[in-house]
Amino acid sequence: MIETAGEPPKVGNATVHKVRSVRAVGTRAVLAELSGTQDVLALQALLLEKPLPGQQDVLAAAETVLVKADSPASARRIAARLLHLDLTAPVRLDGGLVVIDTVYDGEDLAEVGRLTGLGTEGVISAHSGQVWTVAFAGFAPGFGYMVGENQQLEVPRRSSPRTAVPAGSVALAGNYSAVYPRRSPGGWQLIGRTNARMWDLNRDQPALAAPGHRVQFRPVRDAVTLAPEPAGTAPEPAAADVASGLRIVAPGLQSLVEDLGRHGHSGLGVSAAGALDRASLRRANRLVGNAPSAAAIETVAGGLKVQAVADQVLAVTGAPSALSIESAPDSAGETWHRTVPMAAPFALLDGETLSLGAPRSGFRSYLAVRGGVVAALVLGSRSTDTMSGIGPAPLTAGQVLAAGGEAESGVVGAPELQPDYPGTGVTVLDVVPGPRADWFDQAALDSFTAQDWSVLPQSNRVGMRLDGTALQRSRQGELPSEGTVAGALQVPPEGLPVLFLADHPITGGYPVIAVVVDSQLDLAAQVPIGGKIRFRWAESATTEHGNEAATTEEEASN
């Protein structure tokens, strides 16, 4: 869907500023394209002041505003309304001045000097010799896109993003500068580093440089060491203080506290996070009588062991695994074992230990405890966001999680059937054209859906990195950073797609060729490392499949 408003109308000699066009981003979001920063800020301010029906979140970027909706129907109505909004009223940015001490010794400093023709010292002089203004936030909490006073330092992103950029890195991309607030993936050119704390939830204003602030980078020669990041939440209670809950005997490969996520904070650079397989989280909570959004444990590839502190009611859903329970030693020091089924409530008595085996299929399992896992609320959610560092830290051996008061029902649920999960075959995911599908010719679009993509080991909750035959763009150049969504398939210049998951950066600068329909993100979350994915164009751009069953290669051919 691309809807355009035509040429901007005029009233007398004045141009009336309007949205230029609207593109669909998946089935529940739209991307409004505008003529410049002032129009972007005007639309963002208007939508925040007077939200449109069905509007859930708004994210400004370089030349676009992403609007998330509560349904495909709302997204279509919002698209139509956006084209008729008047953005003529000016928006002023009146933030204060922030001075950031910077050591200019970045890995890409010499390359930036070559690309700009300024040389190393010229880059340092140009970067520190002007005042930058934070136009919008994005990518990660505390990551502000700063606009300079001139175009001397315009450089492209790296052809292949780094999997890890150190916290405090000062960087350039396109016409923007920014500081990475924490260690994260990124494709910007690194020219220096700072110990300035760009994001701190312990401050009244967590972002050091928020939209509207002016920023001056001050060169320093002394090496700087970034102080340890402050905790993203209040400290959890000590193990000895927990009277009822679960002791982590072994966390497995990675176990995290997740609920249904924190929504509506894109303007702060905060993604939704939350459980990757939302249906499995809801099912686990339903089985133990919790509210659907209660916090639970998300774990991958088996290996999790927990011990009951007081009697507990548990349920495990998601990737099917063997569930075994070892009793507490009796007076003679003997123990005994029993097994319990998946997707059914069971008791774990005080001192008993539950072990999750390796999944027979799928990848992620969800362990719910009656009452929900207790963790501090951060921006309305208890979820761990691995991209931003917000929320509880990954679980560790010896840690004790308290069980809280999130039970809604006086009774537990009946055992439930689970969907089939991806195994060694090919998982087929339905997609709709992305907002930048027109950056690829028909041959690339055909290649995208004709091949099986392998999930690489570098994949995580931020995104699934895929391997296959590289896709060639038909359009060259840089795409200004714009908002994106979970399920988006970005294609860096190297041509290998990245499927964004719940902890994804909220903005990106690589074209999105397609978007997985929202209802199939749960299925995508269950594709293991080394698994295969094939993408299939959905029958219509508003397709939303309500069932939770997996779509396998065999089913797709029937």
Give the CATH number for residue 190.
2.40.100.10
Clarify whether residues 285 and 357 are in a common domain.
yes
State the DSSP H helix or E strand holding residue 364, giving kind and residue range, or none if neither: strand 364-369
Clarify whether residues 354 and 445 are in a common domain.
no
For residue 414, tell me if it sits in a domain: no
Per-residue pLDDT of the chain (558 residues; tens, 9 = 90+): 566 655 555 544 455 689 999 999 999 999 999 988 778 878 988 898 899 999 999 988 889 999 999 999 999 999 999 999 998 866 555 568 999 999 999 999 999 999 999 999 999 999 999 999 888 887 778 889 898 999 999 999 888 889 899 999 999 998 899 999 988 888 999 999 999 999 988 887 888 998 778 999 999 987 555 545 554 454 566 666 889 999 999 999 999 999 999 988 887 788 899 999 999 999 999 999 999 999 999 999 999 999 999 999 999 999 999 999 999 888 888 889 999 999 999 999 999 999 999 999 999 999 999 999 999 999 899 999 998 889 999 999 999 999 987 777 778 888 899 988 887 789 999 999 999 999 999 999 999 999 999 999 999 999 999 999 999 999 987 788 899 999 999 999 999 999 999 999 888 889 999 999 999 999 999 999 999 999 999 975 444 533 333 333 333 333
Given 23, 47, 82, which residue is the final one in a domain? 82
The Cα–Cα gap between 208 and 230 comes to 14
Beta pairing class for 214-219 and 97-102: parallel
Clarify whether residues 258 and 195 are in a common domain.
no
Q: How many domains does the chain have?
A: 4
For residue 230, tell me if it sits in a domain: no
For residue 377, tell me if it sits in a domain: yes
> Which amino acid is located at 125 in the chain?
S
pLDDT at 110: 97
Spatial CA neighbour of 398 closest among 242, 229, 231, 258: 242
CA torsion 151→154→199→121, rounded to 10°? -90
Taking each helix axis as running N to C, give the angle between helix 109-116 and helix 119-128, from 0 to 180 degrees, rounded to the nearest 10: 90
pLDDT at 15: 58
Are the beta carbons of 22 and 54 closer than 8 angstroms?
A: no
State the DSSP H helix or E strand holding residue 113, giving kind and residue range, or none if neither: helix 109-116
Q: How far is CA 121 from the centre of its chain?
A: 37
Clarify whether residues 261 and 368 are in a common domain.
yes
Clarify whether residues 367 and 435 are in a common domain.
no
Other beta carbons less than 10 A from residue 344's beta carbon: 17
pLDDT at 223: 55
Clarify whether residues 279 and 362 are in a common domain.
yes
pLDDT at 1: 55
Domain at 46, CATH number: 3.30.1360.40
Clarify whether residues 349 and 474 are in a common domain.
no
Q: Domain range for residue 371?
A: 239-402
pLDDT at 211: 78
Given 219, 248, 269, which residue is the final one in a domain? 219
> Which amino acid is located at 54 in the chain?
G
Are the beta carbons of 462 and 386 closer than 8 angstroms?
A: yes
Sheet arrangement for strand 55-60: 2-4, 21-24, 29-33, 64-69, 55-60
For residue 411, tell me if it sits in a domain: no
According to DSSP, the residues that pair with 364 across neighbouring strands are 300
For residue 470, tell me if it sits in a domain: yes
State the DSSP H helix or E strand holding residue 181, giving kind and residue range, or none if neither: none
Phi-psi region of 382 (alpha: psi -120 to 50; beta: other; left: phi over 0): alpha
Clarify whether residues 272 and 379 are in a common domain.
yes
For residue 142, tell me if it sits in a domain: yes
Clarify whether residues 318 and 252 are in a common domain.
yes
The Cα–Cα gap between 325 and 319 comes to 18
Task: Please tell me the total number of residues recorded for the chain in this structure.
Answer: 558
Clarify whether residues 13 and 77 are in a common domain.
yes
User: For 391, which DSSP code?
Assistant: S
For residue 445, tell me if it sits in a domain: yes
Spatial CA neighbour of 67 closest among 84, 42, 47: 47
Token pair in block for residue 151: 């175009």
The Cα–Cα gap between 125 and 130 comes to 9
For residue 479, tell me if it sits in a domain: yes
Given 54, 82, 110, which residue is the final one in a domain? 82
Integer Rg of the chain from CA: 25
The Cα–Cα gap between 430 and 539 comes to 9
According to DSSP, the residues that pair with 30 across neighbouring strands are 24, 67
The Cα–Cα gap between 349 and 308 comes to 6
The Cα–Cα gap between 418 and 548 comes to 8
Clarify whether residues 126 and 78 are in a common domain.
no
Clarify whether residues 191 and 104 are in a common domain.
yes
